[in-house]
Structure 1
Amino acid sequence: MRPDGPKTVKFDPNALERLGIKVEPVGQTTGTLDLEVPGSLEYNLDNYAEVGTLVDGRVTAINVKAGDRVKRGQVLATIVVPSIATAQAEYLAAEASAKIAKENEAREQSLLDKSLTTAREAELAKADATKTEAELAAAKAKLQALGVTRPTGGSNISGAGTLLLTAPLDGEVVRRDAVLGRFLQAKETAFVIADPRDLRASLNVYEADLPYFHIGQEAEILIDAMPGKVFKGKIILVEPQVGKASRSARAYIDVPNPDGLLRPGLFIRASLRLPETAKSGRLLVPAPAVQPIGDDDVVFIEHRPGMFEVRKVNVARRTTQVAEIRDGLSGGERIAVEGAFILRGEVTKQ
């Protein structure tokens, strides 16, 4: 701003409200500023599970439907898997061979002790027992890789070649993709288990706003689809990395949903209350209060109703909603926090 440039701008005091010009004292409004960040609701991944199978198989029974509450270990569906039947048969055969070979080894050793057989025969019996023991271990490992136990029992097996899909945690069946009689592939998800009473808001926080986000900070959740309703939550995580393309980071807010009013996928706006003085001692003001005139940033200070001084300020940091003032402004001074662009337009006309 030129030294001989306009220093004041005047308006009819009665027209200020009609023009949308709002004046408030710096640091003495409500004591806080609101910073709004968009995002969406999602399930809390700490209480979320996608249930599927490691092998292809046909669904022969379904025990739950979407909306059912389930306990950890509860059977969700039964799947017949041919490869499991084959692996179980191989295991039983390996188990029988290992048992016979072990008994034969013990017998040959007993005969050798009595000099009723040769050392060669005892060595062959021992080698055979070692080999069959290794084959049994391999068959057991194959069953474990398939996610089942030995055929004679276990919580995951119900008959030869049959796999039980169970709930890995307590929660609600929020999605069921399994269809009776359909062939389920290993890459597919059969059920999704989650807790709809425990949600999280996922926010896209631009890098300029990150200094104002702190773990444990309280926030209000506003939802356009539910006007008038305000939900409370706290920031539980701010991701350390900023996206190269988006120039933003993810922040998460725990949002309790005991009444079940909220649903994952809803668009939300998280409103954070900021103190009007930053930790550095600098004043925080709404970003629209600071306007550019030439190469300078200015605010409009009200001396009396309708009369504003054009004051140059030094901006330390600026976001789309908040400006951090390094100097040029004092706490308690009354500035135009809304409609300042109208005052700027009047100045440029002079």
Structure 2
Amino acid sequence: ERQAKRARALAEGEVGSKAAAEDLEGRVESLLEQAKAAQAEVRAAQAEVEALRVGLKSLKVTAPIGGTVLGKPPEVGESLGMMATGLNSMGGTIEIADLTSLVVETDVPEQRLHLIQMGRPAEIVLDAFPTRRYRGKAIEIVPRMNRAKATATVKVAFTDPAEGVLPDMSARVSFLSKELDEATLKQPPKRVVPSAAVVDRNNAKVVFVIEGDRVRVKPVQIAAPVAGGFELLEGPAPGTRVVRDPPADLADGQLVKEKADS
């Protein structure tokens, strides 16, 4: 551009060629146009980069909580996202659980619900680890009753680290008057059968268990009384439903219908 101005000045002073000056000015204008076009291409490229950055952010999945991935992560190429009706069932999903905040949900009969207080100590025994005891405490009563079973759901949190505990494990909960001490915690858990379920039949201790719509007689061996019943040495597996206060005429195989507690 300086050369073009110098050539123009020389041409006007009749020292240089006017054609040379015009040629240089034309080249300057051409170069300026090329520079403008290059700048426009740069701006377009920057806009494209920004758009790619935005798109890249949408491809990054950020977990709402810290935890452990429970299932197999989606494969490359699978779609992730939300639909109006919930998770996209056609695409991949990632399930994450905070294993440090697991709770046990247990059903408590309606007539005993007044005995549950927040913070009340409890003992948790998992079916997967029947010889291991965990300390817990009641933290929430779900504000909804199950009218079919006349029960309410109580959430019990682990007081100690829940080592080995996984989501959806089966567990049994016993609410206590005081927290288990360290010495008691090391002892194997006792199986307890309600005293109202144990009756004498043919000079033997038995319980009536519910199997479908019938009752079956199961012999039991019991030890010393404990709170609410007897220690069960031999008999039905934990979690088996038994008949409370069975009448004298109740017989093995008899049809029964479960009655909601009043």
TM-score (norm: length of structure 2): 0.43
Which of 1 and 2 has higher RCO (CA within 8 Å, sep 6+)?
Answer: 1
Name the structure where strand makes up a greater proportion of residues.
1
TM-score (norm: length of structure 1): 0.33
